[in-house]
């Protein structure tokens, strides 16, 4: 099923600088990021962490958005893991948002890597902008869930910025 457009109105020009960081082994996270960029109220700079990211650029951002698949057993994808191992920016005046992809069908609880990322961003004194998303992506991507969550992120952005 193809994604439905977000209902959030408005222009992509709030006064904030944002970066979206992702990793993807088989392409689903990349597809999700493409959809998010279309529906998001803001226009973040987008980085695949596998290609390296200049941390000075990130330090200048008000908002960091993270998108990562889960691999292994509740582990981050290795590109995101490598990025995080070297990420040491003080986030005390910055917000973050997290979306993890995984296989949650049949589970009563999230079974993903998001807590690892979240713990590190909180350690760096970041503020979580809104509820993170555990997006079911195997065998099918839950586009409707993604669209509802992007609305939620847009609302939180609108309230904060």
Ligand X SMILES: Cc1cc2nc3c(=O)[nH]c(=O)nc-3n(C[C@H](O)[C@H](O)[C@H](O)COP(=O)(O)O)c2cc1C
Candidates 6, 137, 142, 147; binder of ligand X (CB under 6 A) is: 137
| Cis peptide preceding 139, ω within 30 of 0 | yes
Residue 28 lies near ligand X (rule: CB under 6 A): yes
Q: Interaction with ligand X in 97-116: which residues (CB under 6 A)?
A: 101-104, 111-112
Q: Cβ 100 to ligand X, closest distance in Å?
A: 8
What pairs with residue 101 in β-bridges? Answer: 69, 135
Q: Cβ 131 to ligand X, closest distance in Å?
A: 18
Please give the Cα distance from 107 to 152 (Å, whole number). 23
Residue 132 lies near ligand X (rule: CB under 6 A): no
Strands (E), the chain: 18-22, 45-48, 63-71, 75-76, 95-102, 127-128, 133-136
Where along the sequence are the contacts to ligand X (CB under 6 A)?
24-29, 69-74, 101-104, 111-112, 137-138
């Amino acid at each position: 099923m193809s994604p439905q457009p977000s209902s959030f109105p408005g222009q992509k020009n709030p006064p904030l600088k944002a970066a979206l960081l992702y990793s993807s082994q088989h392409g689903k996270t990349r597809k999700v990021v493409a959809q998010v960029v279309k529906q998001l109220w803001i226009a973040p700079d987008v980085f695949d962490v596998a290609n390296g990211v200049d941390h000075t650029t990130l330090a200048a951002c008000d908002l960091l958005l993270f998108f990562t698949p889960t691999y292994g057993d509740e582990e981050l994808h290795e590109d995101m893991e490598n990025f995080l191992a070297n990420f040491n920016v003080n986030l005390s005046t910055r917000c973050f948002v997290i979306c993890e992809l995984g296989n949650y069908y049949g589970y009563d609880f999230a079974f993903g890597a998001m807590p690892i990322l979240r713990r590190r961003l909180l350690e760096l004194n970041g503020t979580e902008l809104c509820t993170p998303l555990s997006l079911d992506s195997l065998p099918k991507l839950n586009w409707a869930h993604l669209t509802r969550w992007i609305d939620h992120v847009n609302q939180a952005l609108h309230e904060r910025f």
